[in-house]
Copies of this chain bind each other. A is one copy, B any other.
């Protein structure tokens, strides 16, 4: 177990254009950025064992406050001594606040300045999330990086509605940091709290939000409210704009993004942290990411294909099994197919980020990125 006493924080160690290589120091070890955080919504990265995530050198994973709060529930996590102990994961964990899930999954009952009242998507029971109790719940979870509660809004909302949600998010940010200072960690290690920038696809609203957020002493800042259905040009435009306005000495986290291309482009814009269900969810649908583009392993052309999924990949799946065998596992609906595909896709994402960091440290990011994107566009 990593020492729980090390100083937490963030340092940029190298820049290449706007792309940054950095280190996020957490109580559960250092995270080399840019980083992709495998999604472990319910306290497990789907179909992967914790020892496999260690072998892949995943330095941080993401879990979800909304899901963990509903199931197994905070008293179960507290009885275990927090999420790290509960799931036997000694490295860093970031928890999303659950704001997005309250707005997208639950039967939303009411939202006002105090917080949100919602019904569980599991059993319909009524619950309230406030900026305060969401920080409190994340103290019980014991995540290394906690996220503030924010108000999420549909991607094509009217300007005034986006502005109102953004203003409420700022008010909630201030209450979050107050609670963060009042309620101390309960497991003997320091946690961080990130603010979330909202403002939709409007640069003036984003700027207004950033200006307010910068005055709140968060450990990092997330770009929220993107990758929710807006045109890809808007996503890139707002990411670029927001990343460049955020403080240079704090980590920048683009929530819920995205494809390998989305990620390497956002790294170029100065983003440090990413999470997305895509590698694991697509894996379970038989879609594999490779250095030469995506592979739909169910395709009949792989029926007797003895080659490995990605010739450049050193993961257990690629070094051990053929496309023919993987196709069979998917056609036969075997669990091992889900395991091997998830293992490969997470390896691909993590390896992509390690290569990106290397390119930044060699002051060569732009050329590296162009090369990667050209190769990935040759769908095999």
Report which A residues bind B (CB closer than 8 A): 42-44, 46-51, 71-72, 75-76, 79-80, 86-88, 303-304, 306, 316, 320-322, 324-325, 327-329, 331-332, 334-336, 338-340
List B contacts of A328 (CB < 8 A): 42-43, 71-72, 76, 86
A332 and B42 within 8 A (CB): yes
Asked, given contacts A49-B316, A321-B88, A325-B88, whether A44 binds B336 with beta carbons under 8 Å apart, the answer is: yes
B304 and A76 within 8 A (CB): yes
Of the A-B pairs whose beta carbons lie under 8 Å apart in the complex, a sample of 15, sorted by A's number, is: A42-B332, A42-B334, A43-B328, A44-B329, A44-B336, A47-B339, A49-B340, A51-B320, A72-B328, A79-B306, A80-B324, A86-B325, A88-B325, A335-B335, A335-B338
A71 partner, pick from B72, B316, B331, B339, beta carbons under 8 A: B331
B75 and A304 within 8 A (CB): yes
Taken together as a complex, chains A and B put the C-alpha atoms of A335 and B321 apart, in Å, by 21
CB distance from A286 to the nearest CB of B (A): 15
Taken together as a complex, chains A and B put the C-alpha atoms of A328 and B75 apart, in Å, by 13
B80 and A46 within 8 A (CB): no
A325 and B80 within 8 A (CB): yes
* Extra inter-chain contacts (11) besides given A49-B316, A80-B306, A335-B338, CB under 8 Å: A42-B334, A43-B325, A44-B336, A46-B334, A46-B335, A49-B336, A71-B331, A76-B303, A86-B325, A87-B325, A88-B325
Taken together as a complex, chains A and B put the C-alpha atoms of A79 and B306 apart, in Å, by 8
CB distance from A122 to the nearest CB of B (A): 9
B46 and A331 within 8 A (CB): no
Taken together as a complex, chains A and B put the C-alpha atoms of A332 and B49 apart, in Å, by 16
A335 partner, pick from B325, B339, B340, beta carbons under 8 A: B339
